[in-house]
Structure 1
């Protein structure tokens, strides 16, 4: 039985949020968006493919940077309106050259940087 991305609940723009999480450690790496075709491309290729809202085009993670996300598992939440991609990340996940996009804490009303670029 194959999965049909049409069973997911996309927003009015035809997109669904996706959290990328590191296989083994559970570290949250990034959040991005997929449309139905990006979901199918990810399932078929096992290379995580997002939809770039700013470029209005598909974005295969690592295609230009070499920081590839190999899909281990793709999960949906109970409402089918958010995805969790368990990935094997090579190199940094963030375009700022950090392992995770979530490198800034809001602590006592101030921003605190938690990690430096690699």
Structure 2
């Protein structure tokens, strides 16, 4: 079952934010994600990356754009930090069993998308 793209969040929205993947409602609060009664806690970088990827349009978010999301300049070191955060985030959201954090490679560009299962 493929879920619809989540609705976009806006800065003026009150916390916690709600994202809708088809009929699944995801509550995104300060440093956590909750689906039904399942909650996962996130670190700051994981939280910011999740929001950026979950609210991105169609093709996802480029790896080169993600260091800025967590407040870093783009460099080899910051890309490594982002990849570590993505690795940890992928493990945590996999525990919910509802999403897949996909890595997309097109030519030499890498991007990430959040897909419903």
- Range class of TM-score, shorter chain: under 0.3
Q: What TM-score does the superposition give when structure 2 sets the normalisation length?
A: 0.27
Question: Which has a greater percent of helix?
Answer: 2
Higher strand share: 1
Give the TM-score normalised by the residue count of structure 1: 0.27
Give the greater-gyration-radius structure (CA). Answer: 1
